[in-house]
Structure 1
Amino acid sequence: MPHPAPSDQNAAREIFAGTGEMSARMRAFDWSKTPLGPPDTWPQSLKTTVRILLTSRFAMWMLWGEGLTFFCNDAYRPTLGVKEAWALGSPSDRVWAEIWDDIGPRIQHVLETGEATWDEDLRLFLERSGYPEETYHTFSYSPLADDRGHITGMLCVVTEESERVVGERRLRMLRDLAARSGEARTPAEVLAALRACLEAEAHDLPFALVYLPEGEEEELQLAAAVGLDPERLGLPLRMLGAAGDAPWPVQAVFNDLVPRVADLSALPDLPTGPWDRPPIQALVLPLAQAGQTRAAGVFVAALNPYRPLDEDYRGFLGLFVGQVTAALKGANAYEEERRRAEALAELDRAKTAFFANASHELRTPLTLMLGPLEDLLTGDAGPLTARQQEVLEMAHRGSLRLLRLVNTLLDFSRLEAGRAQASYVPTDLATVTADLASSFRSAMERAGLRYGVEVSPLSEPVYVDPEMWEKVVLNLLSNAFKFTLSGEVAVTLAQEGREAVLRVRDSGVGIPAAELGRLFERFHRVEGQRGRSFEGTGIGLALVREIVALHGGRVEVQSAEGQGTTFTVRLPLGSAHLPPERLGAERTLSSTATGALPYVEEALRWLPGEARPETLAEPEGAPLPGERGQVLLVDDNADLRDYIARLLAPQHDVRVVPDGQAALEAVAEALPDLVITDVMMPRLDGFGLLRALRENPRTRELPVIMLSARAGEEARVQGLMAGADDYLVKPFSARELLAKVGAHLALARLRREALAREQAYSAELEARVAERAREVVQWRDRYEVAVRGAGALIYDWDPATNGILYSGAVEHITGYRADELPGRLEDWTERLIHPEDRAAFAHEIERVLATGEAFQLGFRVVRRDGTVLDVEDDGYFMRDEAGRVRHMVGFVRDVTERKRAETALRQANEELSRSNAELERFAYIASHDLQEPIRTVGSFAGLLARRYGDVLDERGRQYLHTVELGALRMKTLVDDLLVFSRLNAAHPPFQLLDLNVPVHEALARLDMTLQETGARVTVGDLPTVYGDPSRLAQLFQNLIANAVKFRHEGVPPEVTIGAARAGNLWHFTVSDNGIGIEQAYFTRIFEMFQRLHSRDRYEGSGLGLAICQKIVAQHGGQMWVESTPGAGSTFHFTLSGGAP
């Protein structure tokens, strides 16, 4: 850099005043070597301009003279970059040679015409970092005149906008990608969205490639290429082994998830994208989201050749690739879900086929079982003993129930497969339904239920399949009986229009609202539903719906939990809705009808009287009482209870109960030696019973054997993990059950003996354990305090030794490392605590040592560097078994920012209080000092007009009229200001009110105005809300008056008030047919004194809508407007729908 001669230095100090870098450089610069010469020879205008340039903090540069000599200030230095070292004093066309084609004509225009220029976000490729860089600038070139007024120079005031412009462009790309990929359902659609996004905007991604893994070997294959043709360029479509890193490190990035920069300068014929030169670098990134350890693929992003790969660029590419990764993950999940749905559908079809085949095959052995059983029961094979009769009846009932279940599965599988064959015949539905319903009367009466059957004759026979109709009626009756524990069941059949309507109504347990939608799903059972039995397949109601649908009808259900259920079946009359070929058609499939007997017999076995046998009598030759086990049997199936009880009775005393709740009551009365329980039961199931037994210390060790129809290792493991001692799968053999019961009773006896020995040892261990427990508690307490104090300075003070241990955020709080802090409390107080807080700190320590209480104390800490922090200290005492203090542990938190915020809030509240007081004083002046003079002016002006109007000329009368109007306007303004100021005062407590009351009060106040203008006000249904009635009346009065005031000339105003529920809020609208409002004023109209029209056209104070918005805000709502000029306006506001 040239240096000035000594004679120039004094002049340089005067001209280049200042302390900045450029001031110092200009003072040290030898200006005599430039076309401008020494500074003392410069014209005053140049000196003044340079002084302004150097003292400005806004980025500026200038040129002067024929040599276009370059100047700049400190704020402009970053724009120069590497040119900063030599630019000062150089010709400007040399400084900015790379962009002179862009800026030269602008500078020449300024120098020749004296007219300034303006450019906004102009793109310039500056070589300030050693390469052409894409930059954006907003600047103005202004002319500079010399002392004679000739244009001799140019001043540029500039703001660089590169980061903003490029950032907005990248943000648009991210939004576009999100919008395009949001609906993608397959990876191909995601890649198509990516392609469309990059084709629309490619400045920051001239081209891109996506590699995705395929096959078990996860071989990377090119899935998408945007902006280039990989085959034409000879790029690999698959990445194989070590070749996976050519020409970019795709395989390496896929393996370790570390992004890498690839050099593209050696690749020929690369596309340029939107630029005039190809990219020279690419960033290779893994398609993986944060926290993932495995990539979903690799993204190759070509980089903008005119922008540096800085943190912002990397962050943008990370977000962009993250969006691509998320979209691909979502698409893959969607595809996987679709495949799962297809597989489930196929599995469902296979299951239906299996049920059909299995049910069909099971009917043959069932027939061979039922036939001989019925022969034996009728006495064809000889007389039976009472015991034999009882056992055979039990077997016969079980076989009939199994046949009914098999037939139900067969019916349902036929319906599912579309193979069900109905034979529709004209049927006297009333008679058939009455006969079927009467079959349940004995069961209903034995259960103590009121049972009503009311069947009305129909106008014509109904076309039904009698066998199928039988299943509909019997399933609904069986369901009502099972879930009605008391009350009534009613069956009605009647004609409604062209439909036959069957209703089965009960007063049972009802159905939860959340379950109604799934009630007719096959195999669905309502969890935890109380009933007479938990048995059932879960397809009875599904079968009813399918059969009714096959008849062209529909099933409806109404239910309330705890109040009962009504099932309604509607069948169309006539046969037009049925397939003609099935009218009276002959059956080709075997019948599955069983009649009402199996349904009724099963229902009778649910009754409590059948389910509670006494403890069975001890048979002859039984073991002695001391050797007999006490067994509690829990099962809701009466036959199974009877069978197991009689099986165990010779060796054990057996009590039987029907469900888990009854079992808990029985255990409370007398503790058994063993519990045998079914899994699925009403009220409380087996797992619930097991859980209750294990939670009770008295029954925790009680052995439990679970019985279940669920076979398989998984079901067995589930039972054992729940706490069962053994698990038996139905059907089981008598020998297996007796063996397990004997083994578990023997184990129970051994367990009781072991427990007695264990209790003998426990006393000896308690003393040792207690000591260790006290130590554990102390360390646990320390740990809990340390955890609570995370992010704070944590200390442990031993009062006995006065030593302190430190950890946590020690350096942040004190400025010292933990090993630099004093080890004694007095040293801590002296070095770290603010002098003004030391006495209070010492006093608090003395107090808590005396009382033993925990403490929380706020004080100031003087850090190592002298800065002061506000802190809070929470301390807790650790005590030994005698209650003596062993340690004090605690933590010190930095609350400086919170204290500052509290101070700022307190100051703001004080300022607000002062403002409110001033506003109240203004309201007093407005109401008492201004209203009386205004009233006097108005009254006397009116009096003058009435008494002397005839003697005044036209101009005098006009003057009086003007005075009256001015007084009226002033009164309106003062009244509105008074209302607005009163809104700042505390409102009375809100009350529950009907909004029609304040609306009609507002209409009454405006009655004369409404009559004069011919306005019509329509008020819809308004709700009851909590609010202030007077302020809500003011709100509606202002809105209605506003609507009437801004009306079309000659058109009667029409105002509509409406309300609608919107979640927890009420949404109100006040609409009119007036002149409307421009959209630009939608927000401004709610400000004080805002007027959109001149006062001579529409009167008003400009406060009405401001008052409205304030009233709505006080009620916790919001207010806004929608309007179309010339077509009227709608004012919206919300009010809370509940108590404040």
Structure 2
Amino acid sequence: MRSPLSDDPDLFPTLLQADADEPAPVAGRPWKVLVADDEADVHAVLRLALLDVVIEGRGLQVLDAFSAEEAKAVLAAHPDIALILLDVVMESGRAGLDLVRHIREQLANRSVQIVLVTGQPGHAPQREVISGYEIDGYRLKSELHGNQIFAQVHSALRTYRLMREQEQLQRDLELKVRQLDAAVAALRESQANFIRAQSVAHVGSWNYELASDEMHLSAETCRIFGLPEGTVGNYRGYLERVCSEDRASLEAAWQHFLRLGGTFEHEHRIRVGNAVRHVRQRADLTFAADGRPLRSLGTTQDITERKQAEVELRRSNAELEQFSYAISHDLRQPLRMIASYLQLLGTSLADRLNDEQSVYFGFAIDGAKRMDRMLVALLEYSRVGRLGEPAAWIESRAVLDEALLFLQPTIAEATAAIDICGEWPRVFVRPDEMLRLLQNLIANALKFRLPGRNPEIRVISRLAGSEWRLVVADNGIGIEPAQLGRLFQVFQRLQSRAQFEGSGVGLALCRKIAEHHGGRIWAESDGGGRGSRFCVVLPMPGEAA
């Protein structure tokens, strides 16, 4: 069957004219156009009509199908076809219309443009087809000319491009919505976790706008102050909740913070009903360009339990120190009595005791004396931090010289060499406690020496920032690394009493002195026979540095 397109004598000149009017260069991937018609001359004419056509900078790639089934195969191989020029009557009278249904419903392809091009309108009346099928154009083959084909293709491809852009925008929008929903969900979960974390830690937050005098409180801050959630407070309202004894210091600290900025930190008590709570406030400050304070963001921590624990700990420590003092002091009298009577008995019965019995008396007397020394050491240990001189600025070298003076007989007896190194600054310490610490550390270095080796002891001092660092190093018996953790415990001994006399309290006393000054002490050694280093670090006030 011949197509009306091939009977039109004016078609080819018109097509050539249409091509001459579109000399645009080709760029990008070509538009894919499927011609589905069972007549070969229709394919030839349309190919000629679309030859060298460039639309929006893109050429055309014309694909051919001579039946609806072939068209389905081409669509499967090329899902990005933009336009289908479709005949109605092919292998059947409604093959083209059935193909439209297949594309729109089974393939769910709504973007491809479908233009019906029929030479037998009786098989596909225009009104019925447009109403019943999702097509984008209807043309009779007898009406088609070059410009009409160009206009139809140009319009269809532009519509296809706009629909694909709309689909992409829709997909992007849906993706953004999903991302936003996920972000909102994550934010809500984060806020919930933040609220739970604040509740567990008893730490709330707040934001204070100075201009409007509005303090926005988190849920946990409201709970700490016994307020309904969502309460907006103000400065005066907060001060009214602060215990009157703490109000003046809080106001002074806050005004200083507003003038100078930095970090605000203050601990005080508040009244919540009939109860008193301890809180710790921390905040920073945001300033305007002209230097005016604008707002403050801060945290409120409920430290009531910590304060109660501190009070209980102080009470317990005081009782323990009093107990230690009572034991060490009150037990010495009967112990001295035992030792004295044992000595009297040993003297009066000396001519009637055999050698073994004399040894037994010696063991008993020695044990009583050793226990007395241990009680004296325990008494001294209990006094650290409780009795003695207050902290003061002293010359550290003077304290060292005094310790060495006390130890001079031991130094001479051991033929020890003492090397004093570093800088010895003025330090803020308790003089009597620092004397005991230096004396104990140097005395240990003299005592725990190797037979046949003269002790060599270095005492080093230096300031490092706001810390005073001391080291007492020796060439003595050393310490096995596995034993270092036991050194500073009360009555712990690493060496037998037969080799080295002692109460086992000296290093525990040094640890207590260091900790009472807010510092720390530790020991270092490369092992047995390789000497030891005892290190002490004490914080110093800023002006000391």
TM-score range, shorter chain: 0.3 to 0.5
Question: Structure 1-normalised TM-score?
Answer: 0.23
Question: Structure 2-normalised TM-score?
Answer: 0.45
- Bigger Rg, structure 1 or 2: 2
Identify which of structures 1 and 2 has the higher relative contact order when contacts are C-alpha pairs closer than 8 Å and 6+ apart.
Answer: 2
